[in-house]
Structure 1
Amino acid sequence: MCRGVRTNGACLEPRVIAKAPPGEGCPRCGGFVYAAEQMLARGRAWHKECFKCGDCLKRLDSTNCCEGPDKDIYCKVCYAKKFGPKGYGYGKGAGVLQSDPYANGDQAPKTTVIDTAAIKAPPGKGCPRCGGVVYAAEQVLAKGREWHRKCFKCRDCTKTLDSIIACDGPDSDVYCKTCYGKKWGPHGYGFACGSGFLQTDGLTEDEISQNRPYYNPDTTSIKAPKGQGCPRCGGMVFAAEQQLAKGTMWHKKCFNCAECHRPLDSMLACDGPDKEIHCRSCYAKLFGPRGFGYGHAPTLVSTDSEPTVTYTEQLPFTGAKAAKGKGCPRCGFPVYAAEQMHSKNGSWHRRCFSCADCHKSLDSTNLNDGPNGEIYCRSCYGRNFGPKGVGFGMGAGTLTMA
């Protein structure tokens, strides 16, 4: 009779594993463990066949193996049932209450909780709330002092705090944002007590301002050297409040329209030729084109004898002009690559690239080179150099004899 495993009609005897000296073999069977079949747990080598849960005999690996305090190994489920927390909702379903606190006996891991608040520190060096010694594993920092994690609560509502909602009060204590606003925030109609309630706790404006831990210096009163400060007020401009326009630094509070005082940003600010900044609407009214349909109602025509901005002020360069035939045909100054516009008559400044008659800005779609070396828009080119006669340029009823 075969007592082993039968393979292809042959009977194989069960493998006999030689016993190892005590404490050196497999913890489950005590036999020698060779490198080809070892599994490591609790610093000891196990057979692959023996590397199973001590309760349900489920095969284990490095992802679901839990080492128990009884020097055995378990799967996660059996470990939680045997050594996990006991009570309502733990391990045995939400409807079962464990009533035996000593069910695990000596196998359950024992922990000791030390109340560090009872260890008093020298005056001024401990937790500000309880005065106990604060160790590194439980410290929370606020106002440059160390607090116990369990003591780091709001002074009024005892809400647990963190670095997001903690507010340092002027009384050297900590509060949540709500209690801080009620205790140290502004008082009066619509503040902290509802829009229909008027705070009448007897605090005067002077008392509130003295207790409020906030200081806002007026940097506009700090005058800067001439030509280096804010163009609007002349005060010193620091990095935390600067706005850039026209290559100079402005205060944020001064960075508004010179006409309507609307606050500006990089999308709305327009640098005017008067060395001020304006919003788009005020800039168009002050320096935009004048005439029928521009800036005002369509029926209003400006009667100013001279335009608000002369074209000589818009010349982009000063100094020596370029050699004859090499500069901008309009102004004669040198034209650099970053600003050049091309036509048949040469290279122009971008700001000079406009119609010689109506000064309309031109591009490659409406550019016309005149025979006199100037450039024109289509309308002005047709009026100056187009065909003359009935229906051409001057109306269907007019015949020129030129």
Structure 2
Amino acid sequence: QVSVPTWAEMGSVKKDTVAHKPAPAPQGGNLDSMLVMLQSDLSRQGISTSTKGLCASCQKPIAGQVVTALGNTWHPEHFVCTHCQKEMGGSNFFEKDGAPYCERDYFQLFSPRCGLCNEPILDVSWPRSAGECSDAQCFHEKDGQQYCHQDFYELFSTRCQGCGQAILENYISALSALWHPECFVCRECYAPFLQGSFFEHGGRPFCETHYHKQRGSLCWGCEKPIAGRCITAMARKFHPEHFVCAFCLKQLNKGTFKEQNDKPYCHPCFLKLFG
């Protein structure tokens, strides 16, 4: 026979039973706070646990993710730039007087400034001489003043006679000046001097054709340079064989032609066409 417990008996059983409930999660707490609370509960139940150290910022135990830097451990959200308070757990950082700084603030606060643009010089490990470095972050020094790479060359480098920009590497020396190789070309057609020879006029280099054009010594008939005898007529120059009647193409001599509409004609053709 099975006896059914009375209500009083059920109440006494309930009263004598002790239930272990987990501590309530902190309102608004983060993951580390919840893990610390769980660690406390496990310790009360005799389960051994260990922390990852105390956070150097808040001095509370670290039970979750940890950042190790500057000889200390930190909660990730507490390892921040001393100046802007930005989290730096996965970023490069710099140390100054034992405090961490993000890269941007470190250079803005502590790097020397360029003597021309006043921007921070990012690479200050040693001064560089002209031509030694092509990195825009290089540090150069002249007369006791520091300069960024770009402004150093802007102020002190030799200029190309062609484009006026700084010469940093290879150059051509010609006509008492220095040139970038790509700038030493004919100043009229910009063709390079593939054979290494050029013509000078007014202190500037030209190919043969445009040298003669500058000097007015191109044949009006064939547009080739005139190196020997020439005929000057109608304010132009011609090879003798290219000074011909515009109609019959017979070779003309100076003083034995007629001009019409800026063209030369022999006497018979002139009379036939315009007489």
Q: Please tell me the TM-score bracket, short chain as reference.
A: 0.3 to 0.5
| Structure holding more helix per residue | 2
